[in-house]
Structure 1
């Protein structure tokens, strides 16, 4: 009897140990994710994440878990009932645009099943990928009715010594990503958030979220209560001019968006497609109408240029000369004068072989921008009427602006626009918007999103004059990691505020920044006066890539990125510093045994000059390129 009782006690201890610590490893064994229960607060649970580089590095000592519904809590009162055996996740898919055309990612998935004191269930589904971790919550029960989420307890605990690059939250996500070494800085922060764990050789992580749908709001990070703990926070009540509910309403069963931490070396971060990898696959069966490409854009040089038919025609002619497929007719096209109407401009574009794109104010009570056209997309009926008309007259895509909120009602509005636009074969670009959250995979006609302090800011204030080069070298490590970015790059002339980047720096942005519709910003004479090598490069540069490789760089200092389309490689490099420097290009990404010819378009002796050289290179070579202050270069590589 004593032996049986002793064996029973041993089994209880074994179960307790098993339930108090559960691990799952990435397929390459570099990332470990484990579950533990708080010793100070039994019933509270957290994930821990470590990365095996040269040494084992704790990435997050704690990621606090839990959800609080209006009817009951799933935070500090949870019992772990079971944990599944790790299951291999293998995902292969193709894309029409983005960093790469063929995607493949692997993970190990584990499901932790909890119950609260009332016996209600909450699952945490966690995955360890080769380049990060993701997790989401599930309410698996089929209880009738609707349920309101009061808060999400998810919080990433970051050590004080960790260096970080964070953007103060604004609803448009337009701002800078300054380095923060002062752990006392508190506030609300927008995604993505970049952290360096340990020294440069250790580990980097980028926080964001993916696969947001109609059943939830988008979130942000807040360390206002605890400077070392970045908690997921809901939108403010005042967002969207006080329209929409802060707390999300859902029905059961339900799954949350994925919480995403991209983890590894800088190359793992920059090259990552994890946000799209965990998002819902494409919902479209017919996609031959979705065509990435370059567009001319009147707004940057002439803020009200779309009102002027003749001025707009100059940009149509520019697109025709450069062989670009698109021109964007921006706001106020409904007020067009000086010789023509919108229909005249559309017909003129079509006569030149240029496809027109059209701007819309998202309208509604959530924004107070009066510029039109507005209020034409706010209901299913108005969208159907407008999109049918656009399809009839020959419009290929819409740019929809001024959303001003991440509340659940706005998530629904984004997705309603995407689904209705697909019915009329219209590509979509969101401006004044939230950041990408994986929708470009689900809806591949979503070509780009703004959510960036971009080229148009030269119109608004002087900050880009002094900070533009530094800011440009931040974006490949932050905003552009998580999805397409409509920065509207490449300007050689000046807008309202001068730029101090060199011409070679501006040219390189067409490669450095990824956006499936790339709106090149400059006025026609800015492109017409370029020397032939730079002009030919802009005539041919793709906007959708088969492969992307990070070659060198550091946030805010410099960056070198290689992108391949078919057999040709484009390498872009930019200097974010106010001093000259030599930037090294390693050619380890080339095929061994082959010889390549390369055309280098680099800084000349002064900021508006170019130095063009022709080279022969092969795998294993290294090239040093001298960059002027705030300079850059572009390298075009072909097999011989």
Structure 2
């Protein structure tokens, strides 16, 4: 009898939904709910614990011909399914095995398209799928997001869509974001009941999304137009272009395809913004059969420190002797790679030949002899003009990868260029680091040889600005890093408190303590992780180097212990049988308790790198100690202003 009642209730519910064209779906734990309404348009909302977080959002797409998605939508059918599976990460940025669990509502519409909504325990996402097979142009996409009154944003405001997407996060009420103001992704919203991190993934053959204000609590998507012509700025630039002709559409499409996922991490706990894998989970799966050759690791990097080698008997600079010194340092400290940054090529446009003072083939040979791989920096524009030949040439020399710079766009052509570079490099077994880039948008899962992206205001900005404050460095893990790997380039050994900081292009320094920089190696996710300081300085700070080089760049498991956007963060990560903890704070000194219950049974040795007693005055002061702990030990991470705390835990 009970079973019949349940079936009848289900039939009544289906009849109600068919009449009202309103559908609901909940996350596996029931905390997050999506409601989709179909009337003269498609609108949706998301709630957390019954509190409306995203309201009256709209989704649609306009095309040059045939059916426009979301215009007077007519539902043909809808299905709901629950999925629980594991994703094996080829390059484990947070963890090697990812629990992929969600409830999916799939709505098929007349006009050969459907809309998939997924509800996860840590957020929601949606994606349009075109099931027609017709060539046409995408005129625009409707992504309209409305938030409750009183909502704010940490807004990475842009001046132009032609941008490196390296922004500060402006704290603004949504009512302050005018119609002329727009931002790149990811972007964070704070509602009265939860935070929402908005980004996109599975971005293929389509332009990247920007979000503009309206002077109220609603924001709308805008996109770069399809580029018809781009020329060198002033007819002579090697890296900056002027877009002279644009189409009246944003993309060309041949139909029968899925469009990018619109991703919303939703939580009332800031730690979720760091622990979430949604961008990776929703990305296209690995396309490579053989991935054994992909080796993450650390990189000794030259450009930040301006090749400032000292205490040697040769003139430092862009020459073979200097880079052999870099290679010797990397080999002595088990650093996997050295980058040859700007200056190794004969010119910035002639990238098939090298600077006469640098024997690049000899450096690659020497590096191989020492067990150190060489990665070559290139400008995107000349690379794009002769991609295959240039890549094949670098491979024939023995290079291990490339670092591509100055893309500065994310229109459809540029998005396709990223994928072409990743694909062709994979064929040649070359690693990829996208610098001067837009945020990660899933390509690194499809092509795991893509190990890193910039798209962040990182340490290099210390060479010309005062922007990289401790507040900034404890903001980006919650926003930019939610999209994927982050080439912030940590590792400075010249550390100052803000009152002692000075801008120096040739001898840069960082704000915050030494322990703050060291903690970045645990907190910041970057499978290809830079060591930005001069090897000569590192040799003088060998104790710090010895600690840093023990820290992996990929992880089996991640646990976020503490987190408050722009204030502090403490992350524990496991690799093999060791645990690593990294903590960072803003300008406020803090003491945070560290719960070691994740250790399990047994006794452990904990090597700690923390702020020294005088770090408030002399930021390079640190303390290193080894203590015995177990899962019940009470540990406190004491951090100075702009400080940090790190630990390496080994079972005894």
Deviation at 1:469, TM superposition (A): 1.1
> Is 1:259 the equivalent of 2:262?
yes
CA distance in 2, matches of 1:608, 1:82: 65
> Is 1:127 the equivalent of 2:142?
no
Deviation at 1:457, TM superposition (A): 0.9
- What aligned pairs does 1:159-170 form with structure 2 within 5 A after superposition? 159-169=148-158
Three-state SS of the structure 2 residue aligned to 1:86 is strand
- What aligned pairs does 1:153-552 form with structure 2 within 5 A after superposition? 153-169=142-158, 171-181=163-173, 183-186=175-178, 187-198=181-192, 202-214=193-205, 216-223=206-213, 225=214, 227-235=216-224, 241-242=242-243, 245=247, 247-264=250-267, 265-302=269-306, 307-335=318-346, 340-363=358-381, 375=382, 377-379=383-385, 382-464=386-468, 468-493=469-494, 496=505, 497-530=508-541, 532=543, 534-552=544-562
CA distance in 1, matches of 2:69, 2:446: 31
Compared CA separation, residues 620 and 385, structure 1 to 2 (3 A): same
TM-score, with length taken from structure 2: 0.86
Deviation at 1:89, TM superposition (A): 2.4
CA distance in 2, matches of 1:355, 1:260: 36
CA distance in 2, matches of 1:615, 1:176: 39
CA distance in 1, matches of 2:341, 2:85: 39
Match of 1:46 in 2: 43
CA distance in 1, matches of 2:266, 2:165: 23
CA distance in 1, matches of 2:62, 2:17: 26
Three-state SS of the structure 1 residue aligned to 2:547 is helix
Match of 1:78 in 2: 72
Q: Which moved more, 1:86-95 or 1:288-297?
A: 86-95
Deviation at 1:409, TM superposition (A): 0.7
CA distance in 2, matches of 1:353, 1:531: 20
Compared CA separation, residues 441 and 448, structure 1 to 2 (3 A): same
Deviations 1:426-484 (A, max 9, x none): 010101111100111100000000000011111232333xxx21111011101112111
Match of 1:7 in 2: none
Among candidates 596, 615, 619, match of residue 587 of structure 1: 596
Compared CA separation, residues 228 and 282, structure 1 to 2 (3 A): same
Compared CA separation, residues 303 and 597, structure 1 to 2 (3 A): closer
CA distance in 1, matches of 2:440, 2:534: 28
Compared CA separation, residues 79 and 388, structure 1 to 2 (3 A): closer
Supply the RMSD in Å over aligned alpha carbons.
2.4
Q: Which moved more, 1:428-437 or 1:58-67?
A: 58-67
Q: Which moved more, 1:501-510 or 1:64-73?
A: 64-73
Compared CA separation, residues 407 and 463, structure 1 to 2 (3 A): same
Match of 2:235 in 1: none
| Aligned 8 A contact 2:459 2:510 in 1 | no
Deviation at 1:291, TM superposition (A): 0.1
Compared CA separation, residues 197 and 303, structure 1 to 2 (3 A): farther
CA distance in 2, matches of 1:16, 1:87: 17
Three-state SS of the structure 2 residue aligned to 1:249 is strand
CA distance in 1, matches of 2:577, 2:570: 19
Deviation at 1:12, TM superposition (A): 13
Three-state SS of the structure 1 residue aligned to 2:465 is coil
Deviations 1:515-546 (A, max 9, x none): 111011001133212252x3222222111111
Three-state SS of the structure 1 residue aligned to 2:376 is strand
| Aligned 8 A contact 1:316 1:349 in 2 | yes
| Aligned 8 A contact 2:376 2:399 in 1 | yes
Compared CA separation, residues 147 and 91, structure 1 to 2 (3 A): farther
| Aligned 8 A contact 2:153 2:173 in 1 | yes
Structure 1 runs not aligned, ≥5 long: 1-9, 364-374
CA distance in 1, matches of 2:21, 2:396: 62
Deviation at 1:636, TM superposition (A): 0.9
| Aligned 8 A contact 2:149 2:217 in 1 | yes
CA distance in 1, matches of 2:559, 2:102: 21
CA distance in 2, matches of 1:74, 1:513: 42
Deviation at 1:122, TM superposition (A): 3.3
CA distance in 2, matches of 1:585, 1:235: 46
Deviation at 1:13, TM superposition (A): 11
> Is 1:99 the equivalent of 2:90?
no
Q: Which moved more, 1:267-276 or 1:299-308?
A: 299-308
Three-state SS of the structure 1 residue aligned to 2:391 is helix
Compared CA separation, residues 506 and 522, structure 1 to 2 (3 A): same
- What aligned pairs does 1:609-624 form with structure 2 within 5 A after superposition? 609-624=621-636
Q: Which moved more, 1:537-546 or 1:231-240?
A: 231-240
CA distance in 2, matches of 1:312, 1:426: 21
CA distance in 1, matches of 2:401, 2:198: 31
Deviation at 1:19, TM superposition (A): 3.6
CA distance in 2, matches of 1:16, 1:292: 50
CA distance in 1, matches of 2:317, 2:273: 39
Q: Which moved more, 1:96-105 or 1:84-93?
A: 84-93
> Is 1:596 the equivalent of 2:604?
yes
| Aligned 8 A contact 1:582 1:625 in 2 | yes
Three-state SS of the structure 2 residue aligned to 1:65 is strand
CA distance in 2, matches of 1:212, 1:337: 37
Three-state SS of the structure 1 residue aligned to 2:324 is helix
Deviation at 1:85, TM superposition (A): 2.7
Among candidates 102, 107, 114, match of residue 112 of structure 1: 107
| Aligned 8 A contact 1:78 1:114 in 2 | no
TM-score, with length taken from structure 1: 0.88
Deviation at 1:161, TM superposition (A): 1.0
Deviation at 1:271, TM superposition (A): 0.8
| Aligned 8 A contact 1:75 1:153 in 2 | no
Q: How many residues align?
A: 593
Structure 2 runs not aligned, ≥5 long: 1-10, 231-240, 309-315, 347-353, 496-503
Three-state SS of the structure 2 residue aligned to 1:23 is strand
| Aligned 8 A contact 1:491 1:526 in 2 | no
CA distance in 1, matches of 2:108, 2:488: 43
